[in-house]
Amino acid sequence: MLKLTDKTIQYDEAALIAGLHRGSEQAFEMLWQHFYKRVLYFSRRFVPETDAQDITTEVFVQLWNKRADFHTIGKVANFLFIAVRNRCYNLVRDRQIHDGHIAELAELMENDRGDLLLEQVRVELVKLISEQVRQLPEKTRRVFLLSFEEGLKPSQIAERLGVSVKTVKNQKLSAIKLLKSALQQHPLESVLLFLLEIEYFFSGQ
């Protein structure tokens, strides 16, 4: 029997869906807690933060209004991501925010199952890694974010932070080791971090 897990709490799928059909606010709150951040991460890829929050909230309202239509957690997840994708596409198209985003969303529109499933996996990876990055020591976290989020080279990071290049490299390597240790139970994340480690050794001096 499928379990919906959030930290240490497990929810029985059949009971959760039954509660949703009955209009249980507790069941809806469980789904909100499990999916909200994941869906928000997805929408942030295409639209500004405020719009992403509005769109995410709107699709949860839509989920509540259509709650009788869902019979599995998988159907709920598919609905949320597809609804957000469609709303993001409409917003980006109407505002002409970014041509690249329009093209990427258009590709997702053409493939509801394959590409969207990969996007859901990507969202899970980003969420898990982001949660672990927030737990890093402050100096290590700053170096990691400047390197892998802003794409700065060690020399550029050193100049910005007023430290030596050697210190930056040590902090960067420390971040990778800490993240690998924290994410060792998640094989996909370990693969990603292995690639980051390779990037470290071949990054600009």
Q: In this model, does residue 28 exceed pLDDT 80?
A: yes
Name the architecture of domain 135-202: Orthogonal Bundle (1.10)
Q: What is the mean pLDDT of the chain?
A: 75
Quote the longest CA-to-CA distance of the chain. 61
Rg of the Cα trace of the chain?
20
Q: In this model, does residue 1 exceed pLDDT 70?
A: no
Q: Which residues are CB-contacts of 204 (< 8 A; sequence separation ≥ 6)? A: 153, 154, 155
The string of pLDDT tens digits covering residues 136-194 is 888 888 888 888 766 678 889 999 999 999 999 888 888 878 777 776 666 555 445 44
Q: Where are the domains of the chain?
A: 3-121, 135-202
CATH topology of domain 3-121: Rna Polymerase Sigma Factor; Chain: A (1.10.1740)
**Banded model confidence at residue 201, pLDDT cuts 50, 70, 90:** very low
Q: Choose the weakest-confidence range: 83-87, 102-106, 167-171, 189-193.
A: 189-193
42 near 81, Cβ under 8 Å?
yes
161 near 168, Cβ under 8 Å?
yes
Q: Do domains 3-121 and 135-202 have the same CATH topology?
A: no
Amino acid 144: pLDDT = 83
Q: In this model, does residue 3 exceed pLDDT 50?
A: no
